[in-house]
Amino acid sequence: MDFLFDTTSDGRPFKVLAMCAEFTRESIGGALARSITADHVVVVLDEAVARRGAPSFIRCDNGPEFTAAAIRDWCGLSGTGSSFIEPGSPWQNPWVESFNGKARDELFAREVFDTILEARVLYEDWREIYNHRRPHSSLGYRAPADFAAVFTKAELCIESGPTNGDRSTLQGIATIREFFWELSLGIYCIVKGFKPSTDPRHGWDSQGSRVAER
């Protein structure tokens, strides 16, 4: 989750709450208003959970809307963990930063909004296009909603037992999961200055020395 900011034509600012799924890249929730508090964020989270189920964790910065007691209580009640990025480190939340960059380039930098209602309607229209019609390079140039539908089908196949025609889908999902895990691990190690051990029995350290697992 993250915020971006813009103004209406009279110069008055407004806030935009962005919420996207890291694996599917879908925009699963959002809000646009003059002011968005922690209570408003909880409402958007509840709406997303009603559609998609509770996430394993939410990743966000240390802004007051995300560190408030209302968010902590929501995480505790829903069984959701929280992952706060370090202050001044937006690269630790690259998925929503990428989403916000696209929203700014394709919508907010191109439109002049006379009212909050106009901005809200156009933002929701853009989110619909982003989810269902805009191809995403990291998803094999599929729209996020199409990619999520394939992934959901694969999960159903796992629960009921795959047919011959479904096995290739399951293999593809496993490959994508492995790719994103290795990519995330590689980025984390680069940022932290870690070096990989060639021995799978050993871990990582900041000097590149092998550290035996205990």
**Domain architecture of the chain: domains with CATH:** 2-134 (3.30.420.10), 176-214 (no CATH)
For the stretch 42-53, pLDDT in tens is: 999 999 999 888
pLDDT digits (tens), the chain, 214 positions: 999 999 999 999 999 999 999 888 999 999 999 999 999 999 999 999 998 888 888 999 988 999 899 999 999 998 999 889 888 888 888 889 999 999 999 999 999 999 999 999 999 999 999 999 998 888 888 888 888 887 765 454 444 444 455 445 545 555 555 555 566 656 655 655 655 444 443 333 334 343 333 3
Residue 158 DSSP SS3: helix
- Residue 67: CB atoms within 10 A of its CB come to 14
User: How many CA atoms does the CB half-sphere of 31 hold within 13 Å?
Assistant: 20
Q: Where are the beta strands (DSSP E) in the chain?
A: 2-7, 13-20, 27-33, 57-60, 81-84
pLDDT of residue 148: 83
